Amino acid sequence: MSAKNPDRVVIVGGGTAGWMTASYLKAAFGDRLSVTLVESGKIGTIGVGEATFSDIRHFFEFLDLKEEDWMPACNATYKLAVRFEDWRGPGHHFYHPFEQLRSAGGFPLTDWWLRNGPSERFDKDCFVMASLCDNGRSPRRLDGSLLDQDFAEGAGDPAGLTMSEHQGKTQFPYAYHFEAALLAEYLAGYSIDRGVRRIVDEVRHVRLDERGWIDHVVTKEHGQIHGDLFVDCTGFRGVLLNQALDVPFVSYQDTLPNDSAVALQVPLDTEKAGLRPCTTATAQKAGWIWTIPLIGRIGTGYVYAKDYCEQEEAERTLREFAGPGAAEVEANHIRMRIGRSEQSWKNNCVAVGLSSGFVEPLESTGIFFIHHAIEQLVKHFPAADWHPRLRERYNSAVANVMDGVREFLVVHYKGAARDDTRYWKDTKTRAMPDALAERIERWQVQLPDSENVFPYYHGLPPYSYMCVLLGTGGIPLRPSSALNLSDETAARKEFAAIRDKAKFLVDTLPSQYEYLAELRA
């Protein structure tokens, strides 16, 4: 290994994680870093991963890519929320939107809603996004401006911060859906234009030096590839970190039992069908089905636990759900490794993507994990001495994000009022991550706030927990007792303002289809 600053990076794997890492490193360090990416032409990518978090916009901004540059190339659409269907019971739905929660008289509006909300729908009463989703609206007007000045781009949003530094300052009103394969190809083009060397070949061996650090990888046709820093983006295989460096995998399976998925790419006439601007998660007998609207097709998949559902039954359920348009489409069956590597960075190897860790895709956090990891990698990039403190900081930031998201997902299942099958009954008695039981007990008398949710950055603000608790409906909640003694005039005004704004926006915004047709023209 070279004695100078580590400046030769070798990325193994060319899925979303590999190409996001390559492009981000080039945007961060330019020609001061040499980047080689090796991807197998035979081992496929996971082929899913199409919905994101709103923070993803910082990734595209960092690469200096505008929506009109990349969205049409990736058949991308907007996502204003996750829509949960049937989690409380058949026919019920609620949204978890990308929208800050307002407050009135010093209390969050959800508290007031619990006390005496204007309607049965907390999501429509407390957020405008729920109405925009129900009505298929675009978050942008035809002139390209954002829906409303309250969501103005850049307001209070200084450039150059990492996601964790942004949190709490603003909530950008949307994320994206995109075709994973098209995005990887787009980012490959971006990276190669900026000097990344792409090698299509399979890594057969990983050679370590006498200290146990990676010296080089051996490929089938291109011989040895040497580097200083190796990034493992080989997906669930974890070829470098888990296999060669023997880093153990910490399973989350005891608390999140879904370990399987089956996915379909269903062609769709988007103009006729319209484009719902949200991801939908529909509860099923042994898990849930995602629906992701893209230009020209939907991505859909059943996430389930094999202890409760056979593979054939899962595929049948998904095909029935997707309808006749899916009849000719081949199903992609996936076994999921749920949990995280004990450390994501060991010696000179950093795992990014599925090799680092993964929780089921209920809140679309896989790509968020990747984005967070590469931001942290840049922030903690090693110097010549490979100072161990940088690795430690990196490892704890990455572990906290995944552990925090795990907790958040467990709340969905614990909270779901639905208990009509063995699967849903068992969600109420299953083990929980340490401390969550105590937190839930507190939330029952005081709704989630920044002091009583998972204490480290994990991308989910307290309002997200409120949405899930209020929406799933299985955990009894009550408003703050202080509201009995408080004047509710300000809250009434706020509810009225949200209702009026939602109506104005629904009346004046174009449909998502109209807006994207214009963008793609």
The answer to whether residue 124 is catalytic is no
**Per CB under 6 A, 16 contacts ligand FAD:** yes
Binding site membership for L-tryptophan: which residues?
A: 363
Binding residues for 7-chloro-L-tryptophan: 79
In angstroms, rounded to a whole number, what is the distance separating the alpha carbons of residues 497 and 302? Answer: 39
Is 291 exposed, middle or buried, given 0-12, 13-18 or 19+ CB atoms closer than 10 A?
Answer: buried
**Which residue carries 């910490």 as its tokens?**
250
Q: Is 235 in the site for ligand FAD (CB under 6 A)?
A: yes
Q: Say whether 258 sits in a helix, a strand or coil.
A: coil
Q: What share of the chain is helix, strand, coil (3-state, %, to 5)?
A: 40, 20, 40
Whether 66 and 458 have beta carbons less than 8 Å apart is answered as: no
Residue 174 DSSP SS3: coil
Residues 1, 8, 34, 43: which binds ligand FAD (CB under 6 A)?
43
Nearer to ligand FAD, 60 or 386 (CB): 60
Residue from 10, 11, 17, 453 binding ligand FAD (CB under 6 A)? 17
Q: Is 48 in the site for ligand FAD (CB under 6 A)?
A: yes
- Residue 367 phi, psi dihedral angles, 5° rounding: -75, -30
What is the rounded distance in angstroms from the CA atom of residue 283 to the CA atom of residue 157?
Answer: 36
Taking the complex as a whole, the smallest distance from the CB of residue 521 to ligand FAD amounts, in Å, to: 28
**According to the binding rule CB under 6 A, does residue 357 interact with ligand FAD?**
no
- Amino acid identity, residue 493? K
- Residue 131 CB, nearest approach to ligand FAD (Å): 24
Using CB under 6 A, pick the residue from 147, 163, 203, 469 that binds ligand FAD: 203
Using the contact rule CB under 6 A, the part of the chain among 41-49, 93-101, 499-507, 512-520 near ligand FAD is: 41-49
Q: Pick the closer one to ligand FAD by CB: 51 or 101.
A: 51
Question: How many residues belong to the chain?
Answer: 521
**Residue 34, φ and ψ in degrees, nearest 5:** -100, 135
Pick 202 or 215: Cβ nearer ligand FAD? 202
Q: Considering only residues 104, 225, 336, 401, which one is a binding residue for ligand FAD as defined by CB under 6 A?
A: 336
H/E element, 399: helix 388-415
* Using rule CB under 6 A, residue 13 touches ligand FAD: yes
CB 107 within 8 A of CB 482: yes
Beta bridge partners of 218: 205, 224
Q: Which of residues 73-112 bind ligand FAD (CB under 6 A)?
A: none
CA nearest neighbour of 352 among 365, 364, 336, 369: 369
**What DSSP element (H or E) covers 375?**
helix 366-379
Q: Does 460 bind ligand FAD (CB under 6 A)?
A: no
The residue annotated as part of the active site, out of 4, 26, 79, 503, is 79
Nearer to ligand FAD, 25 or 261 (CB): 261
Q: Which is nearer to ligand FAD, 175 or 440 (CB)?
A: 175
CA distance 406 to 465: 13
238 makes contact with ligand FAD (CB under 6 A): no
Position among 52, 110, 376, 395 found at the interface with ligand FAD (CB under 6 A): 52
**DSSP states along 73-101:** GGT-EEE-EEEEESSSSTT-EEEEESSPP
How many other C-beta atoms are found inside a 10 Å radius of the C-beta of residue 193? Answer: 10
Q: Does 499 bind ligand FAD (CB under 6 A)?
A: no
Q: Phi, psi (5° rounding) for residue 170? A: -145, 165
Show the site string, 250-269: x = touches ligand FAD by CB under 6 A, - = not. Answer: -----------x--------
Task: List the binding residues.
Answer: 14-17, 79, 203, 354, 363, 367
Residue 233 or 432: which CB sits closer to ligand FAD? 233
CA distances from 98 to 176, 296, 459 (A): 11, 25, 12
Which of the stretches 58-66, 353-361, 386-394, 418-426 binds ligand FAD when contact is defined by CB under 6 A? Answer: 353-361
How many residues sit close enough to ligand FAD to count as binding (CB under 6 A)?
Answer: 39
Summarize as ranges the residues that interact with ligand FAD (CB under 6 A): 12-18, 38-40, 43, 45-46, 48-52, 180, 202-203, 233-235, 237, 239, 261, 301, 334, 336, 353-354, 361, 364-368, 370
Active-site positions? Answer: 79
